[in-house]
Chain A
């Protein structure tokens, strides 16, 4: 099977195929950088345009967009505290404080290098592990998937710091929003109040734009006119000069790559969860956890490595089993089907040139990210901060409307986004953490579906959730995450008291 991988390489270097990756990466960065526009949306729009193209050209565009958008999302996350894509939420934690300190350029360079490293690791994982790892994911039944979701949610509530009560309120709100729409098993309406627009549930993009784009826009307009920061304060310098400052990040890159790849393989988890987990783990391992959240470059590295390491690996279950790991992977599956490529084990046998060529395109897309994203980020996008704040605010308002309107082509979503925006602004001001809301929405529906599936399999017996070792390990990890920070604090307090005595 690996000989097919090498045989597919010459095809990828064809002019049209390679050009498709380059165009895709640039387009992806631009789309990712625009708040409210996601890789999912860009690829969905792209798919109908690829009917007449060769499969590898179409797939190259998709691979490029996916890679580019995952990094592009970091640009507004760092400069404006608006995650361009859902996976860039964790990048805001330290990226934005860095920009506030005049290190926006360096934060973007850390983001692009980390994204590239994560993307390269993920592409290798896809190339080398796709067939054998597909067997591992088969071991995850609904009970295990449910516990993965619970673990993800618990991690973000209890490891993010701040008030656990506020974190739990945020998570409950997010999970509640996720249940709006049709019941996944019986199809009955829940909290739709007769609105047809709510039947399919609430798109995460609406919630994200509302929660993460509107409050910063209000902030931009609330504070008196400022003309950004001068260019020397951005800290923009050639990327090769910035690289030595990142030499201590190798452990974070390695850890983030592993987490991203692992989360990507798990169906449904996605880049946001990978970024959050990588960020939390890196902070836990840090010698100075107190600096995190106040402009620690390693925080940007942790989040960006993981959310890009999730890209290609999310396609492992998608290509081998037909189970998309993320929403983007689901759209990509649609793109494969458009070209008559049926995902599954047969794909590797019948179309090795296309499937392995696609994997190479992911690798080249990740490498191109440093060349294209690096120069774009430092020389062009970083200058966003120099735009007059009211003008920037008004442009973002327009982009928000376009992004949300273009999901389903209806104004209802725009009004819904404004509602979430008002909620988000209040939450932001009262220090309610926003990430648990997003993760609640992502994992809520997913957890519910798998919980109900597990209960159906166990004929209503709740012990089905604790019957196998994988489930028990996940339960233990969840308890550790909940109890751990409090226990650690008590031990530290006891030691301090003993020392003082």
Chain B
């Protein structure tokens, strides 16, 4: 495969269209086990997704053939991946270690990593946010938060 051809297949819209076709085809398989009337809407939507994604793919490849350069999805991919990883890490930590310990760590951590590094500001902000959450949700509404699977087990 030549480099030009490889680049054409790595265009964001092309990749998205291929991903959609694969995912929609995968989801189409379970519809065969459903009653026809139950499968009607989901199958129609999945087939619609496949057809429309194919149209998107063709349209994007035409643009590529015409020499149109695809815009990059992100200007700072490292920061995006880092931000998403931190959010996923926070969710997993909440699940395993509990809501309050994870929250006390995540607020200053995210802020500091992404540029806000005033120690006093971070301490005050963390205390206000965590305190307000406790007061409103835990104390006021009796809302239970994850206590952490590690401690429960």
Q: Which residues of A pack against B, CB within 8 Å?
A: 45, 165-166, 168-169, 172-173, 175-176, 179, 183, 185-186, 188, 190-191, 214, 217-218, 221-225, 388-391, 393-395, 397-398, 401-402, 405-406, 409, 411, 414-415, 418, 421-422, 425-426, 429-430, 444, 447-448, 451-452, 455
Contacts and interface: CB of A to CB of B under 8 A. Distances in A.
Interface in B21-70: 27, 30, 34-35, 37-38, 41-42, 45-46, 48-49, 52-53, 55-56, 59
Given A168-B48, A188-B35, A222-B75, A418 B56 contact: no
Interface string B87-109: 11011001100010001001111
B107 A214 contact: no
B27 A172 contact: no
A398 B42 contact: no
Contacts of B34: 183, 188, 190
B38 A188 contact: yes
Contact of A183 (B12, B38, B73, B133): B38
A176 B42 contact: yes
Contacts of A401: 90-91, 94, 99
A63 B113 CA distance: 43
B55 A222 contact: no
B137 A448 contact: no
Contacts of A452: 37
Contacts of A397: 87, 90, 106, 110
B114 interface: yes
B150 interface: no
The 9 closest A-B pairs by CB, nearest first: A225-B115, A390-B114, A394-B110, A221-B83, A388-B116, A176-B45, A390-B116, A390-B111, A172-B48
A406 B48 contact: no
Nearest to A452: B37
B137 A402 contact: yes
B131 interface: no
B137 A222 contact: no
Given A179-B42, A402-B133, A452-B37, A426 B49 contact: no
Contacts of A172: 45-46, 48-49, 52
B38 A429 contact: no
A172 B42 CA distance: 9
Contacts of B146: 405, 411
30 contacts: A169-B56, A175-B41, A176-B42, A176-B45, A176-B49, A183-B34, A190-B30, A190-B42, A191-B27, A191-B30, A191-B42, A217-B87, A221-B83, A221-B110, A222-B79, A225-B116, A388-B116, A389-B114, A389-B116, A395-B125, A398-B106, A401-B91, A402-B145, A411-B146, A414-B91, A426-B16, A429-B12, A429-B74, A430-B16, A451-B41
Contacts of B103: 398
B76 interface: yes
Contacts of A421: 87
A148 B106 CA distance: 45
Contacts of B42: 176, 179, 190-191
B140 to A, nearest CB: 10
A7 B141 CA distance: 36
Nearest to B76: A222
B63 to A, nearest CB: 12
Nearest to B70: A430
B139 interface: no
B129 interface: yes
A217 B73 contact: no
B125 A391 contact: yes
A332 to B, nearest CB: 19
Nearest to B59: A165
Contacts of A175: 41, 45
Contacts of B88: 418
A172 B145 CA distance: 35
Given A186-B38, A390-B110, A448-B41, 16 more contacts: A175-B41, A176-B42, A176-B49, A185-B38, A188-B35, A214-B87, A221-B79, A391-B125, A394-B107, A402-B137, A405-B145, A406-B143, A411-B146, A426-B73, A451-B41, A452-B37
Nearest to B141: A45
Contact of A222 (B74, B90, B108, B143): B74
Contacts of A406: 137, 143
Contacts of A45: 141, 143
Contact of B106 (A394, A409, A418): A394
Interface centre among B34, B52, B56 (most CB of A within 10 A): B52
A225 B106 contact: no
A398 B42 CA distance: 34
A185 B36 CA distance: 13
Given A172-B48, A222-B76, A415-B91, A391 B56 contact: no
A222 B110 CA distance: 12
A455 B111 CA distance: 55
A393 B137 contact: no
Nearest to A168: B52
Contacts of B55: 165
Contacts of B99: 401
Interface string B1-33: 000000000001100100010000001001000
A218 B80 contact: yes
A422 B84 contact: yes
